[in-house]
Structures are given as structure tokens and as C-alpha cells.
Structure 1
Amino acid sequence: MNLDSYRLTGENTIRLSDYKTSENKSHDNEDIRNDIIPPLVKRLKDLHLKMNAEEKHGILVVLQALDAAGKDEAISYIFSNLNPQGLKTTTLGKPTETERKHDYLWRLHDALPAHGEVGILNRSHYEEVIAPRIHDVLSEGDYPEGADDNTLWSLRFEQIRNYERYLHQNNIHIVKFFFHMSKDEQKRRLLARMKDPDKQWEFSFSDVEEREYWDDYQKVFEDMLNETSTDYAPWYVLPADDAWHTRRLVNEIMVDLLRKIDPKYPEMTGEDKEKLKAYIRKLEDE
């Protein structure tokens, strides 16, 4: 599969409307779920175990989308299979009172993966260039000196690019998934949640209220993708109407990244290797 067709590196300005929300893969759901994803998950799990043991690289995964686009399901079906010792998941919701007293990227620090870990952001620092633009909730203290409504967002985009470059230069690889869902598909999924008593706990009234801003969100998402797609921290635009196809793509992209990192299990050398042989003999002779 050509993963580059979903990958944005900022070389060209894109229009989000040119990207499909579906590739008509729903008829392949059974094959993808039963035959394609399981070996991909196994490969991902094996590569992650090596990276966790090597402790030289980390991966920061960004999942960004509107509600019901499939972020939680990607975590459940893919990332939950990884070694828990090398996995951390963080949801960056509305800033707390403490977080609002700091710069807007401050709260990201504790969510970052250590070397050897995969860190997942289910919603992320990108909320700080999305929600405030839609709902105009910034206070005077959120504006750096000399910045105004005309310059603030370009400044934040620049700061995010620089911050992600810093992470990349310190062996934290960043992969960002945008779940591109149609308005009709979101409606179908929300109604399914609302009508099913076993799924109503997943529903929030704000999910429907936010649909009133659908066109605004599409414009803000388009700006986000154009301004923060880089070769060191690319965005992948996924056709989220095809749920299982999207999960397959997430898995393949993660496997591809880990193959490029090429982690290795640490090998014993020198005195440790000789000591290991001695301890093997000691146990065998008991």
C-alpha cells in the first residue's frame, strides 16, 4: 500500500476537501479485521518490544479529529496490544486552572514518551490551535507581547513546528494522524451511540452542539495540516469513514516508522557475556 499518498510533509499547500473521507473499503471489513490486521499487530508488537528494550528512541503519536471519528477505537484495537511497560496514553482536555497559569505547551511535557516508549496523545497540543479559534476563549494573558488576533496563530504554528523539531532531534519520532470523517458519517455514528443503551455512556451532548461549527472546524483543520506538516513530524490524513481500513493504515504506518528506526535487542559484551555463561553453568549444575 502506498502510504505516501496519505502523508503530508508541508511541501505543498493542500485543500482538505480534496482528500477522501472514504475509499469504499467497508466491504473489506471482515478480511481486514480477521486476516490483515492481526499479523500487522504482531509485527508492531515485536518491533515495539525491541524499541522498548533498546531505549534509544521514542515515538509520539498524535490522534486528532472530531468526535466519533475513531481515535478511541484505534487505541483499543491497535495500541492496546503493545507492551504496557513501553506505552503511555494521555488525553489533553480542557486546560485546568494550574495549566492555564503556564505556557500552552507546558502541560505536554508529562505526556511525552521516554526513550523506549510509545506515547499516545488522544487529542493533543493541537487543541491549542483549534478550539480557541472556534470558540474565541483566549484571555489577554494568552497573547505574547506584540501579538494580536492576526498574528497569534501563525506564531503558535511556528512554535509547534520548532518544538516538534526539538523532540525529533532528541530521538522522539512524531507521527500525527488526522481522522478525516464526513459529516454524514459522524451523524450516523452519533445516532448509533444515542440509540444504543450500551453505548450512551460514550455520548456527550457537546458532540451534537459542536456540529454547528462543522465548516469552521474544516477550515481550522486545513490550516493546521498546512502549517504543521513537516518531514520530521508529518501528518497522515486518513479516510475515517472506513473504520477498519483506517485502523489498518494506522498499523501499517506505525510498522513502517519502526522499521526505519530499526531497533535492536541489546547484546551482552565483554565481562557481562562471560559472567552470563558462568551463571548459566551455575544453574545447570544445581
Structure 2
Amino acid sequence: MENIDIKDFSIQPEIKLSELPTHIDLEAKASKVEKQLLKTRRNLGEMQNKLYAHSKYSVLVCIQGMDTSGKDSLIREVFKDFNVRGVNCYSFKKPTLLELQQDFLWRHYKRLPARGKYAVFNRSHYENVLISRVHPKIVLNENLPHINQVEDLSEEFWNKRLRQINQFEQIIAENGTIIFKFFLNISKDEQKNRLLRRLNKPHKNWKFAPEDIEERQLWNNYTSAYEKAINATSKSYAPWYNIPADDKPTARYLVAKILEERMSTFSDIKYPESDLDKTIKFYKDKLDNE
């Protein structure tokens, strides 16, 4: 199986999405990839326990991608061996009325992980510069000062939002949050195949919505929005990773491997020392003599 160098997947601006791979050959059978994923995610589970005990860092994992890119199943498979008390997953849908009365990052601040824990954002604060950019009428619901019509949403407005996202991520990174941002990169042809699968298989019909076809027609718009967002926000403290996602098992393994390798660089994350050794005989004797 081909050795993975996570630097090969780290995005260094400026990039064009059309030049990033949507498929990678790991030179291994599917069963081998699955076996490696199982091994890697078990190790991640052990590392997560250590992170929880150490309780000085937290980890934020942002998963973004076009419709059908495999976000839900990837989260299920990569984090399956985590202790449930140490990881929370949030899927950000249409903002509530209360959320619309706050700044666009407010609802994401509320879901940030506590020290010792992981938070997985299935879609994230980046939706505010992705779907909102493709469908700018969404922004009007925020009732912002000086934004009264779509025409008021200039390039300066979007650049300001991207700058605010950078500031948000830098603040939390400087306070102990380790940030991962994964772009699940599928080809337009593979999206078509997955949409057809939802239509052809009765047990997958529930996953299909007519809006999926409408959004597919905006593929180039989304590609442009992703390029601008990723190029503006892939930073050393909050890097973006391109995950070739035409093959789901490969994508899952790559995400798990990148998490494992980068988390292993934090050598200060250790189980806290205990002075129990000094008193262990006392407590053993006390239990034995009950």
C-alpha cells in the first residue's frame, strides 16, 4: 500500500479546484484500505482518550464538500472508535430566528469543543461564504446594517467575511484548539453517479431531493466560491486538506491518517502523572481487608 505523506494533501494557496485530484490510487485492494482504516481509527480512539485525560487541547474538524461527497458516512466511519463522551458532531442547517439575530459565527462559537474533546462540523461556518455566496438572498435574512439588497453584497463584503473567519480560527487556535479542515473533492461525473444511485435504489430514495438537481446546475458557482474561500483561509494554524473523494473508502482512510499523523506531532499531550503509586498498597490492603 502506498505510503501517505499528509503534506501532499495540504492545500497551499493559490489553487484551482480543477487541478486538484478527485481520485488517488493507493495501490491496494479495497479490503486492505478498509483494514488500514480500522487500525488507524483504533489508534485515533486511543489518542482521543489521551487528549481527554490531558484536557489542555481541543480539536475542531470541519468537513466540507459538494452534495453527495460522502460527509455523513465519512464521519460515521472515521470516528466510530471514539469514546462518545469525547466527541460531538454538529450538522449546521438553516439558521434559526435566534441565530439570525446574532453575528454569523455565533452559532458556531457555541458548538466549539471543550478542552479534551473533539467537535466535528458536518458543514461549518464556511457555509456563510459558500451557499450564501451562491444564493446571496440568504444573507438578507441576517438583517445586516447597510445590506438592503443583493446588489449591496460586494466583493469587499465577502473578503471581510473571510477575514473574520481567519480571525475566528486564529483566536481559537491560539487558545488550544487544533483545527482540521477537509474538502471532500468529488468529480461532477461521480456526483451524477451517486445521484443516480439514490434514484435507482429504493432504500436510498429518501436521500434524494429535487433541489439536488437544481444545485448541481450551479456546480461552477460553487467551485468558484470554494476556491476563493479555501485560498483565503488555508493557514498554518488552520490548514485545508484536499481529500480525493471519488472513492469513499479511500477518502475515509485519508482523513483518518491525516488526523493520526498530525495529532501525533503534539508530543506534550500525555496522560497526567499520578501519585497513586505511593498509596496503591494502602488502598489494596484496605480493599482486601473489607
**Does 2:13 correspond to 1:4?**
no
- The aligned residue for residue 30 of structure 1 is 31
Q: CA contact under 8 A between 2:9 and 2:243: conserved in structure 1? A: yes
Deviation string for 1:25-57 (max 9, x for gaps)? 597322201x21111111111111111111111
Q: CA contact under 8 A between 1:87 and 1:118: conserved in structure 2? A: yes
| SS, match of residue 274 in structure 2 | coil
| SS, match of residue 253 in structure 1 | helix
**Does 2:102 correspond to 1:102?**
yes
| Distance change >3 Å, CA 102–CA 241, structure 1 → 2 | same
Q: CA contact under 8 A between 1:92 and 1:122: conserved in structure 2? A: yes
**Does 2:199 correspond to 1:198?**
no
**Does 2:170 correspond to 1:170?**
no
Q: CA deviation at 1:177?
A: 0.3
Separation of aligned partners in 1, 2:255 and 2:47: 15
Unaligned runs of 5+ in 2: none
Separation of aligned partners in 1, 2:141 and 2:39: 52
Q: CA deviation at 1:79?
A: 0.9
Separation of aligned partners in 2, 1:277 and 1:190: 63
Alignment of 1:129-148 (within 5 A): 129-137=129-137, 138-139=139-140, 142-143=143-144, 148=153
Q: CA deviation at 1:96?
A: 1.1
Runs of 4+ in 1 over 3 A off after TM superposition: 24-27, 140-148, 272-277
- The aligned residue for residue 184 of structure 1 is 189
- The aligned residue for residue 280 of structure 1 is 284
**Does 2:19 correspond to 1:18?**
yes
Separation of aligned partners in 1, 2:226 and 2:111: 23
Q: CA deviation at 1:273?
A: 5.0
- Aligned residue pairs, count: 281
Q: CA deviation at 1:199?
A: 1.5
Unaligned runs of 5+ in 1: none
Q: CA contact under 8 A between 2:72 and 2:122: conserved in structure 1? A: yes
| Distance change >3 Å, CA 25–CA 207, structure 1 → 2 | farther
Q: CA contact under 8 A between 1:6 and 1:238: conserved in structure 2? A: yes
Alignment of 1:43-58 (within 5 A): 43-58=43-58
Separation of aligned partners in 2, 1:72 and 1:59: 19
Q: CA deviation at 1:203?
A: 2.1
| Distance change >3 Å, CA 273–CA 257, structure 1 → 2 | same
Root-mean-square deviation over aligned CA pairs = 1.9
Separation of aligned partners in 2, 1:26 and 1:212: 34
Q: CA deviation at 1:189?
A: 0.8
Identity %: 35
Aligned counterpart for 1:260 among listed residues 262, 265, 272:
265
| SS, match of residue 103 in structure 2 | coil
| Distance change >3 Å, CA 25–CA 187, structure 1 → 2 | farther
Q: Which moved more, 1:202-211 or 1:50-59?
A: 202-211
Q: CA deviation at 1:285?
A: 3.0
Q: CA contact under 8 A between 1:90 and 1:111: conserved in structure 2? A: yes
Amino acid at match of 1:4: K
**Does 2:98 correspond to 1:93?**
no
Give TM-score scaled by structure 2 length: 0.91
| SS, match of residue 59 in structure 1 | strand
Q: CA deviation at 1:245?
A: 1.1
Q: CA contact under 8 A between 1:54 and 1:266: conserved in structure 2? A: yes
Separation of aligned partners in 2, 1:273 and 1:44: 28
- The aligned residue for residue 80 of structure 2 is 80
Q: Which moved more, 1:253-262 or 1:47-56?
A: 253-262
Deviation string for 1:153-173 (max 9, x for gaps)? 100111000110000011011
Give TM-score scaled by structure 1 length: 0.92
Deviation string for 1:114-135 (max 9, x for gaps)? 1111100000000000111111
Separation of aligned partners in 2, 1:273 and 1:27: 46
